[in-house]
Amino acid sequence: MPGTPPLRRVHRHGAPAIASPVLLAAVAELDLPGNAGAAYVAGEARTCRLVRDFLMRERNWPRTSIKTKPYLGPGQAGPALTVKET
């Protein structure tokens, strides 16, 4: 697609996912529009909240333009992964 920026990956290098400053810093570096845009943020609950709050405070995005899908919080276990061997 013309004009689509390349995908940028960031790594925590073993740091906890809880309230990840790595992801927040990467979002802060993005060239995003002010007062207009839409975001879908999925991940650890506190990190989703940090990103949502950043977009609202620093970029003046309305909360209704930011959808979050937190999947895990501190002290919560994630779904078990079952691997079937054939």
What pLDDT digit, counting tens, does each position of 26-49 carry? Answer: 999 988 887 778 899 988 888 899
Task: Report yes or no on 49 lying in a domain.
Answer: yes
pLDDT at 51 over 50: yes
**Number of other CB atoms surrounding residue 42 within 10 Å:** 11
Q: Are 27 and 51 in contact (CB under 8 A)?
A: yes
Compute the distance between CA of residue 66 and CA of residue 31 in angstroms, rounded to an integer.
Answer: 17
Q: Provide the domain limits for residue 64.
A: 21-72
pLDDT at 23 over 50: yes
Task: Using alpha carbons, select from 70, 66, 65 the residue that is nearest to residue 46.
Answer: 70
Compute the distance between CA of residue 12 and CA of residue 19 in angstroms, rounded to an integer.
Answer: 11
pLDDT at 52 over 50: yes
Compute the distance between CA of residue 16 and CA of residue 75 in angstroms, rounded to an integer.
Answer: 12
The pLDDT assigned to 79 comes to 52
Number of independent structural domains in the chain: 1
Task: Report yes or no on 15 lying in a domain.
Answer: no
The pLDDT tens digits for 55-76 are 999 999 999 999 999 886 666 6
